């Protein structure tokens, strides 16, 4: 079941592309945008995350930390991050496979990958925005931006 606005965001610790741990609860006091995506190096995912990279200031200027999560292993994420110049953490939900995506209701069980789930977690750890699209459905990021603007006001 997908999380809804007002739900407490499940805490998690995942390693980033440099195998450094990122724990959601350690960022309480600041909002965090958690962006799940199916696979590194795939077309739609590259387009979405490059747009996020190019518009990162929209989020960081509002005090929002951005992290992107897939079920890819850390070495693949490191190569993709380097290739694309992403300036936000890419987190690996590789093992136990997809457990964080499952906790957020953003796991596509049949294919063993994350769906396109986006969750804005507010400073208190509550979900302020939630959206889950299927793997082939690119997201419009305007909803995320509107939710960030609402938190900032």
Residues designated catalytic: 45
Q: How many angstroms separate the CA atoms of 87 and 97, rounded?
A: 25
**Which residues contact residue 38 at a Cβ distance below 8 angstroms, ignoring those fewer than 6 apart?**
44, 45, 70, 108, 111, 113, 114, 115, 116, 135
Other CB atoms within 10 Å distance of the CB of residue 76: 17
Q: How many angstroms separate the CA atoms of 134 and 84, rounded?
A: 23
Distance between alpha carbon 42 and the CA centroid of its chain, in Å? 16
Other CB atoms within 10 Å distance of the CB of residue 105: 18
């Amino acid at each position: 079941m997908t999380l809804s606005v007002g739900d407490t965001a499940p805490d998690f610790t995942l390693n980033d592309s440099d195998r450094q741990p990122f724990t959601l609860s350690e960022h309480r006091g600041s909002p965090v945008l958690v962006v799940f995506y199916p696979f590194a190096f795939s077309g739609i995912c590259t387009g979405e995350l490059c747009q996020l990279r190019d518009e990162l200031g929209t989020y960081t200027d509002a005090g929002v930390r951005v992290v992107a999560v897939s079920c890819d292993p850390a070495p693949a994420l490191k190569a993709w991050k380097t290739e694309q110049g992403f300036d936000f953490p890419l987190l690996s939900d590789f093992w136990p496979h997809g457990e964080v995506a499952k906790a957020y209701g953003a796991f596509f069980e049949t294919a063993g990958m994350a769906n396109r789930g986006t969750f804005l977690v507010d400073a208190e750890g509550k979900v302020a925005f939630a959206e889950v699209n299927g793997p082939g459905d690119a997201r419009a990021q305007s909803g995320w931006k509107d939710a960030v603007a609402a938190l900032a006001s």
